[in-house]
Amino acid sequence: MRLGAREATVKIDFSCLVPVKIQETKAESQSSGSSPAAAISDAAVSLLDGKLKIDIPPDFSRDPDNPKEPKTMAKFSGPEGAWGEVLRGTHGLTPEDLPGYLKKRVDEYGKGFKWLPKDSHLQWLKKDIVTVDGRKWADWRFVPMLKGKKDYSHNPVYTRFLTTSYKGQLLEITFTSNLNINPELKKEIDHIMDSVHLEE
């Protein structure tokens, strides 16, 4: 640039600062033999005064609480319509009632719903009573199988439920891929559900 009768060389450098929030979780310290989804940096969500803990991947965000939905303790929005929620029932449910509750819900879903994708049938991947850390849970999961498909990994509406009796009332956790067909999302949902930890 000209400065009067002289020429001056000016060198200009640009830099920027980007705020980054880093949260270390137990998922980051797991061995290399863990699943790809487990390597994701998760946010640990605590509910029921810290008694219930769930690891939520970064592509799921927690929605604001809705006072019009008092049974919903927490709701989450994921990529391309995927979602999850934690429900706390107001009616009694004992561990002995879990098998009957599971059968009732399986029968309800087995009747078919209008939301099923066209040319598909509901396939149950699991519908069992399982024991985790000494607590009985109803573990039920399904996926609508598209006609001609044998592998559900690219199918929509992969859905998992975990239901238990907590202090005599229903506690239910649900996560679904909704219409998202990404197989990696199914791994994320499995990771979320496998991370559920509930203390008495």
Average pLDDT (112-141) is 87
Q: What is the pLDDT of residues 89-105, one digit of tens each?
A: 887 899 999 999 999 99
In a domain, 4, yes or no: no
In a domain, 2, yes or no: no
Q: Whole-prediction pTM value? A: 0.77
Over 80: is that where the pLDDT of 131 sits? yes
- pLDDT for 29 equals 36
Q: How confident is the model at residue 150 (pLDDT cuts 50, 70, 90)?
A: confident
Over 50: is that where the pLDDT of 138 sits? yes
Average pLDDT, the chain: 83
| More confident position, 147 or 173 | 173
Q: Which of 18-27, 61-70, 82-91 has the lowest mean pLDDT?
A: 18-27
DSSP string, 140-178: EEEEEEETT-S-GGG-S--EEEEEEEETTEEEEEEEE-T
In a domain, 8, yes or no: no
- pLDDT for 33 equals 43
In a domain, 5, yes or no: no
- pLDDT for 42 equals 84
In a domain, 109, yes or no: yes
Of 161, 128, 129, 165, the closest CA to residue 142 belongs to: 161
Q: What is the CATH number of the domain that holds 20?
A: 3.40.1000.10
Q: What is the pLDDT of residues 9-43, one digit of tens each?
A: 666 655 545 444 444 444 333 433 444 444 447 89
| More confident position, 187 or 15 | 187
Share above pLDDT 90 across residues of the chain, in percent, rounded to a whole number: 60
Of 108, 58, 61, 53, the closest CA to residue 83 belongs to: 61
- pLDDT for 118 equals 75
Residue type, 137: W
In a domain, 193, yes or no: yes
In a domain, 78, yes or no: yes
Q: Name the domain count of the chain.
A: 1
Range of the domain at 140: 13-198
DSSP string, 68-121: T-TTEEEEEE-GGG-EEEEEEEEEE--GGGHHHHHHHHHHHHHT--TTSPTTEE
Share above pLDDT 70 across residues of the chain, in percent, rounded to a whole number: 77
In a domain, 3, yes or no: no
